[in-house]
Amino acid sequence: MASSLKCLVDDDSRYQKSFQIFLERSSEHQCMRDFIHNMLPDILASIGDGKSHLNVIGVGSGAGEIDLEMLAKLRLKHPRVTVDNEVVEPSSTQLHNYKVLVSQKPGLDYIKFTWNKMTATEFEEHWRVKKMTKKADFIHMIQMLYYVKDPGATISFFQSLLDKNGKLLILLVSGESGWGRLWRTYRNQLCNTEISQCVTTGDIKSFLDSKGVSYQSYELPSEMDITECFTEGDEKGELLLDFLTEVLDFSKTASPELKAGVLELLRHPDCSVESNGKVLFNNNLGVIVIDQLT
């Protein structure tokens, strides 16, 4: 990333604000929920190998809404099991929100929550130092591989933790989404080289193919209303632009040329469609499911 541009994730408060606007303007959580309700139960049906206790790891679990919906589907397919749920989340705000959600939701007695306020990389180090031998039946990484230095190595580590019939579920933006086009065009100007932020399911599939790892993949249609990004000085538009570019205060700190180029690309038919006066960005997601190493 150009030295004058700072990374959005370095300012957790602004990141959480921009993320909230993103959720309000996109169908992201709805399309995740559709996947969880329609596809996930069949994926989870075969895990556990008949055990009465299942180990789950959520990597980058955020505020827990999606985690709890997945755990509910797990319960549906395996009604008599108890669950040990390791939550890995570096944001204290999000962890707090997750704990509040758990305290308010009845019927979770079958789950033991272990809270790990750490990044995926710190969790991996912690696991190795403690020489943990515990295996996991289900590991999910929802929208978090942007924030690790080496997504391939992270996937390989968590795949190594899978038990017999275990599943690793990865959800990221699709290589065919507007994000993919934006990042392919401006990767060098926007992306922080310390952490591979510009990663899509296309990149992950290429990595898995190169390692000969088999997987199942799913495309989830989603869109985001980015109309406000094109109104100069619009606060919500600026927060959305920060989220799209992963740059802190992008509107104020990017060069006029970079800003104009990004805005032009965001409007391009490869990234968005214009409908009823709105600019709707292609926010398609992809899911990749990997089995235990054989």
**42-72 pLDDT, tens per residue?**
999 999 988 999 999 999 999 999 999 999 9
**3-39 pLDDT, tens per residue?**
578 888 888 899 989 999 999 999 999 999 999 999 9
Annotated binding residues for substrate, written as ranges, equal 28, 283
> CA neighbours within 13 Å on the CB side: how many for 292?
15
**80-104 pLDDT, tens per residue?**
999 999 999 999 999 999 999 999 9
**Is there a domain that residue 174 lies in?**
yes
- What is the pLDDT at residue 74? 97
**Is there a domain that residue 275 lies in?**
yes
- What is the pLDDT at residue 49? 87
**Is there a domain that residue 172 lies in?**
yes
> Which range of residues forms the domain containing residue 243?
8-41+52-291
**Is there a domain that residue 47 lies in?**
no
Global pTM exceeds 0.95: no
Alpha helices (H) along the chain: 12-25, 28-38, 40-44, 65-77, 92-104, 120-129, 151-160, 178-190, 201-211, 235-245, 250-253, 256-267
**Is there a domain that residue 71 lies in?**
yes
**Is there a domain that residue 115 lies in?**
yes
**185-206 pLDDT, tens per residue?**
988 888 665 665 689 999 999 9
Residue 232 forms beta bridges with which residues?
none
The SS3 assignment for 87 reads: strand
- What is the pLDDT at residue 191? 62
**Is there a domain that residue 3 lies in?**
no
**Is there a domain that residue 112 lies in?**
yes
Number of domains in the chain: 1
**257-285 pLDDT, tens per residue?**
999 999 999 999 999 999 999 999 999 99
Residue 112 forms beta bridges with which residues?
84
Give the CATH number, domain containing residue 159: 3.40.50.150
Annotated binding residues, written as ranges, equal 28, 283
**213-265 pLDDT, tens per residue?**
999 999 999 999 999 999 999 999 999 999 999 899 999 999 999 999 999 99
Instruction: Give me the percent of the chain exceeding a pLDDT of 70.
Output: 97
Phi-psi region of 249 (alpha: psi -120 to 50; beta: other; left: phi over 0): left
